Amino acid sequence: MAVLMLSVMGAVAEFERTLIRERQREGIALAKQRGVYRGRHRSLHPEQIEEVCKRVEAGEAKARIAGDFGISRQSLYRLLGSTNPGTSAEDHALFASRRSRPGVGSKCPSPNRYRLLPATRHDVWFRC
Protein backbone atom coordinates (compact mmCIF):
# COMPACT_ATOMS: atom_id res chain seq x y z
CA MET A 1 0.00 0.00 0.00
CA ALA A 2 2.87 2.39 0.83
CA VAL A 3 4.46 1.78 -2.57
CA LEU A 4 1.16 2.66 -4.28
CA MET A 5 0.84 5.87 -2.26
CA LEU A 6 4.41 6.90 -3.10
CA SER A 7 3.84 6.16 -6.79
CA VAL A 8 0.66 8.26 -6.85
CA MET A 9 2.33 11.13 -4.97
CA GLY A 10 5.28 11.00 -7.39
CA ALA A 11 2.96 11.10 -10.39
CA VAL A 12 1.07 14.09 -8.97
CA ALA A 13 4.32 15.93 -8.23
CA GLU A 14 5.58 15.26 -11.76
CA PHE A 15 2.30 16.51 -13.22
CA GLU A 16 2.48 19.71 -11.12
CA ARG A 17 6.06 20.31 -12.18
CA THR A 18 5.06 19.91 -15.83
CA LEU A 19 2.30 22.51 -15.38
CA ILE A 20 4.75 24.91 -13.71
CA ARG A 21 7.21 24.55 -16.60
CA GLU A 22 4.47 25.20 -19.17
CA ARG A 23 3.33 28.35 -17.35
CA GLN A 24 6.92 29.51 -17.02
CA ARG A 25 7.57 29.03 -20.76
CA GLU A 26 4.37 30.90 -21.62
CA GLY A 27 5.34 33.77 -19.31
CA ILE A 28 8.81 34.00 -20.81
CA ALA A 29 7.37 34.00 -24.35
CA LEU A 30 4.96 36.83 -23.44
CA ALA A 31 7.73 38.82 -21.78
CA LYS A 32 9.94 38.42 -24.87
CA GLN A 33 7.10 39.68 -27.06
CA ARG A 34 6.79 42.77 -24.85
CA GLY A 35 10.57 43.25 -24.95
CA VAL A 36 10.98 42.89 -21.20
CA TYR A 37 12.89 39.59 -21.08
CA ARG A 38 16.38 40.41 -22.35
CA GLY A 39 18.68 38.62 -19.96
CA ARG A 40 21.32 40.02 -17.67
CA HIS A 41 22.76 43.50 -18.19
CA ARG A 42 26.46 43.80 -18.94
CA SER A 43 28.61 44.74 -15.98
CA LEU A 44 30.67 47.26 -18.01
CA HIS A 45 29.56 49.94 -20.46
CA PRO A 46 31.32 50.23 -23.84
CA GLU A 47 33.32 53.24 -22.60
CA GLN A 48 34.51 51.22 -19.62
CA ILE A 49 35.48 48.32 -21.90
CA GLU A 50 37.61 50.68 -23.99
CA GLU A 51 39.26 51.98 -20.81
CA VAL A 52 39.98 48.41 -19.67
CA CYS A 53 41.58 47.56 -23.04
CA LYS A 54 43.73 50.70 -22.93
CA ARG A 55 44.93 49.92 -19.41
CA VAL A 56 45.74 46.31 -20.34
CA GLU A 57 47.70 47.46 -23.40
CA ALA A 58 49.57 49.90 -21.16
CA GLY A 59 50.74 46.89 -19.13
CA GLU A 60 48.80 47.50 -15.93
CA ALA A 61 48.16 44.46 -13.72
CA LYS A 62 44.91 42.73 -14.64
CA ALA A 63 44.00 42.01 -11.03
CA ARG A 64 44.22 45.72 -10.24
CA ILE A 65 42.10 46.64 -13.29
CA ALA A 66 39.47 44.07 -12.34
CA GLY A 67 39.37 45.42 -8.78
CA ASP A 68 39.04 49.01 -9.97
CA PHE A 69 36.04 48.13 -12.14
CA GLY A 70 34.44 45.80 -9.60
CA ILE A 71 34.60 42.65 -11.70
CA SER A 72 36.42 39.36 -11.23
CA ARG A 73 39.67 38.53 -13.00
CA GLN A 74 37.86 35.74 -14.83
CA SER A 75 35.32 38.27 -16.15
CA LEU A 76 38.19 40.51 -17.25
CA TYR A 77 39.88 37.66 -19.12
CA ARG A 78 36.55 36.67 -20.71
CA LEU A 79 36.05 40.28 -21.78
CA LEU A 80 39.56 40.51 -23.23
CA GLY A 81 39.05 37.25 -25.11
CA SER A 82 35.82 38.50 -26.65
CA THR A 83 37.33 41.86 -27.71
CA ASN A 84 40.51 40.35 -29.18
CA PRO A 85 39.86 39.91 -32.93
CA GLY A 86 42.48 37.18 -33.24
CA THR A 87 40.91 34.92 -30.62
CA SER A 88 38.49 32.39 -32.02
CA ALA A 89 37.23 28.95 -31.22
CA GLU A 90 39.62 27.57 -33.84
CA ASP A 91 42.57 29.23 -32.10
CA HIS A 92 41.52 27.78 -28.75
CA ALA A 93 41.19 24.32 -30.29
CA LEU A 94 44.62 24.69 -31.91
CA PHE A 95 46.23 25.77 -28.65
CA ALA A 96 44.53 23.01 -26.67
CA SER A 97 45.70 20.38 -29.16
CA ARG A 98 49.30 21.57 -28.83
CA ARG A 99 49.38 21.41 -25.06
CA SER A 100 51.26 18.51 -23.62
CA ARG A 101 50.72 16.84 -20.30
CA PRO A 102 53.45 17.45 -17.72
CA GLY A 103 56.18 14.86 -17.95
CA VAL A 104 54.72 13.18 -21.05
CA GLY A 105 56.58 14.17 -24.17
CA SER A 106 57.24 17.63 -22.81
CA LYS A 107 60.08 19.55 -24.40
CA CYS A 108 60.49 21.80 -21.38
CA PRO A 109 63.60 21.28 -19.29
CA SER A 110 61.62 21.72 -16.09
CA PRO A 111 57.92 21.30 -15.23
CA ASN A 112 57.94 24.83 -13.77
CA ARG A 113 59.01 26.47 -17.04
CA TYR A 114 56.94 27.93 -19.83
CA ARG A 115 57.38 27.47 -23.54
CA LEU A 116 56.19 29.33 -26.61
CA LEU A 117 54.01 27.41 -29.01
CA PRO A 118 55.40 27.71 -32.54
CA ALA A 119 53.39 28.32 -35.71
CA THR A 120 50.50 30.17 -34.12
CA ARG A 121 49.04 33.49 -35.10
CA HIS A 122 49.83 34.91 -31.68
CA ASP A 123 52.66 34.51 -29.27
CA VAL A 124 51.07 32.32 -26.63
CA TRP A 125 52.85 30.88 -23.64
CA PHE A 126 51.63 27.65 -22.09
CA ARG A 127 52.82 26.02 -18.96
CA CYS A 128 54.31 22.64 -19.65
pLDDT in tens, 47-75: 999 999 999 999 999 999 999 999 999 98
Say whether both 28 and 50 belong to one domain.
Answer: no
Does 45 share its domain with 22?
Answer: no
For the chain, state the CA radius of gyration: 25
Residue 80 domain-assigned? yes
| Separation between Cα atoms, residue 68 and residue 64, nearest integer Å | 6
Q: Is residue 4 part of a domain?
A: no
The answer on 49 and 16 residing in a single domain is no
Examine the domain organization and report whether 50 and 81 are in the same domain: yes
- Give yes or no: residues 34 and 72 share one domain: no
Q: pLDDT category, 40, cuts 50, 70, 90?
A: confident
Judge if 34 and 46 occupy the same domain.
no
Pairing of strands 114-116, 125-127: antiparallel
Residues 6+ apart with CB under 8 A from 81: 87
Residues 49 and 77 in one domain: yes
Q: Domain of 63?
A: 40-89
